[in-house]
């Protein structure tokens, strides 16, 4: 899908992508850089980030690797300052860090529950707190400003064993709607992407054997989305005219039935 948008329509923009060490985050960072944005890539795995930044730089782009745990609010705030100092004021934030740990609710895997809440909810709010002032300032200066949250089709579908994960993503989708009401008045666009089955490493985190088999079967039996498919959708949002806010996009494999 990378040929859909050509040229460098994001020239002059400064993007931040969390959860950028693999999958959707890495693909999105590379796509935004190819469209002309300077990109700060953030995640916990420094080696992966360094490799991603090197690829972007080798392709002629500009990248800043930010080893970061988004559940650490003070670290996220410090990272926002570093982006502004090194690349300029950030005006495009893709909050993508997340984890999927599926299990029956009665198994009471409370540590897995808490990890998902910490990363999928608290981590997103930490990113919001650190970067929204920059987005508001960018919009006030007359430029485009985007906050894009990676949610999931699980936010809306009833899927067995997905209770806590789906709850965190439902929070994120609805939060994005509510944040858009406030920030849209200030010309900051807020969007939620709700992908279906994507061929990433996320299913590898699933510890429940039955749920793991379900995910593996889906990956085997249908042509799933690639991270590049989702990245192209995110890119499409960012290159729309400033007055156009694509607020919620569901992107599914054609063959995915649930």
User: Which residues make beta-bridge pairs with 38?
Assistant: 14, 62
Residues ≥6 apart with Cβ < 8 Å to 214:
none
Structure tokens at 163: 């209770």
Catalytic residue among 150, 165, 180, 218: 165
Residues ≥6 apart with Cβ < 8 Å to 197:
215, 218, 219, 222, 224, 225, 252, 253, 256
171 is catalytic: no
Cβ proximity of 42 and 17 under 8 Å: yes
Q: How does DSSP assign 36-82, residue by residue? A: T-EEEEEES-HHHHHHHHHHHHHTT-EEEEEE--TT-HHHHHHHHHH
Please list the active-site residues: 165
């Amino acid at each position: 899908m990378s040929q859909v948008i050509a040229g460098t329509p994001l020239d002059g923009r400064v993007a931040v992508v969390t959860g950028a060490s693999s999958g959707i985050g890495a693909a999105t960072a590379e796509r935004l850089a190819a469209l002309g944005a300077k990109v700060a890539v953030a995640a916990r795995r420094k080696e992966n980030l360094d490799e991603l930044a090197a690829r972007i730089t080798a392709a002629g782009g500009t990248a800043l690797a930010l080893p970061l745990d988004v559940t650490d609010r003070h670290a996220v705030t410090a990272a926002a300052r570093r982006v502004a100092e090194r690349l300029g004021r950030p005006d495009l934030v893709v909050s993508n860090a997340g984890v999927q740990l599926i299990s029956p609710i009665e198994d009471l895997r409370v540590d897995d529950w808490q990890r998902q809440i910490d990363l999928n909810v608290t981590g997103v709010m930490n990113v919001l707190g650190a970067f929204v002032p920059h987005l508001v300032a960018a919009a006030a200066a007359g430029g485009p400003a985007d906050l894009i949250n990676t949610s999931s089709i699980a936010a809306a579908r009833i899927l067995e064993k997905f209770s806590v994960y789906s709850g965190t993503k439902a929070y994120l989708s609805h939060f994005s709607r509510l944040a858009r009401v406030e920030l849209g008045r200030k010309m900051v666009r807020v969007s939620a992407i709700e992908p279906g089955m994507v061929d990433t490493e996320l299913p590898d985190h699933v510890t429940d054997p039955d749920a793991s088999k379900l995910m593996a079967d889906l990956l085997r039996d249908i042509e799933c989305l690639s991270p590049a498919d989702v990245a192209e959708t995110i890119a499409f949002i960012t290159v729309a005219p400033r007055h156009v806010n694509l607020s919620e996009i569901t992107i599914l494999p054609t063959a995915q039935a649930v």
